[in-house]
Amino acid sequence: MREADARLIVERNLQAVPGGWSWRSDPRLRLPSSTRLPEAAIRAILQAIEAPTLLVAAEPSPPYFPPSLRAERVACLRDASLHVLEGGHHLHMERAPEIGALLRDFLRA
């Protein structure tokens, strides 16, 4: 992670408290999701989406969302635009100008 990106996260999550600072974030982020949908349900939801859809994905893909699964899910969408950019979990921070341009162009269309 770039230092500038880490700084943004730290600044966002620090909270001044009497006597110093406290780290704040949603503790639920560290727990397993209570809502795990079966793959068939995920695909049914994707197939029901009628609006144009923009998907921006990071490469390399995380282990839980390999390119093959991504491609299968994108194929479920009626009108999808997929852009794969080199980056990681914080792709929106790492590649902000490119993500912004993709979003702007998508929303203008």
Domain boundaries in the chain?
38-109
pLDDT at 39: 96
Question: Is the predicted pLDDT of residue 4 greater than 90, yes or no?
Answer: no
User: Length of the chain in residues, anyone?
Assistant: 109
3-state helix, strand, coil in the chain (%, to 5): 45, 20, 35
By percentage, how much of the chain surpasses pLDDT 70?
100
Rounded to the nearest integer, the mean pLDDT of the chain is: 93
Long-range contacts of 11-16 (CB under 8 A, 24+ apart): none
Comparing 85 with 1, which gets the higher pLDDT? 85
Measure the CA–CA gap between 88 and 18, rounded to whole angstroms.
36
* pLDDT tier, 6 (very low <50, low <70, confident <90, very high otherwise): confident
Measure the CA–CA gap between 67 and 58, rounded to whole angstroms.
10
For 63-109, what is each residue's pLDDT tens digit? 999 999 999 999 999 999 999 999 998 999 999 999 999 999 999 98
pLDDT at 25: 83
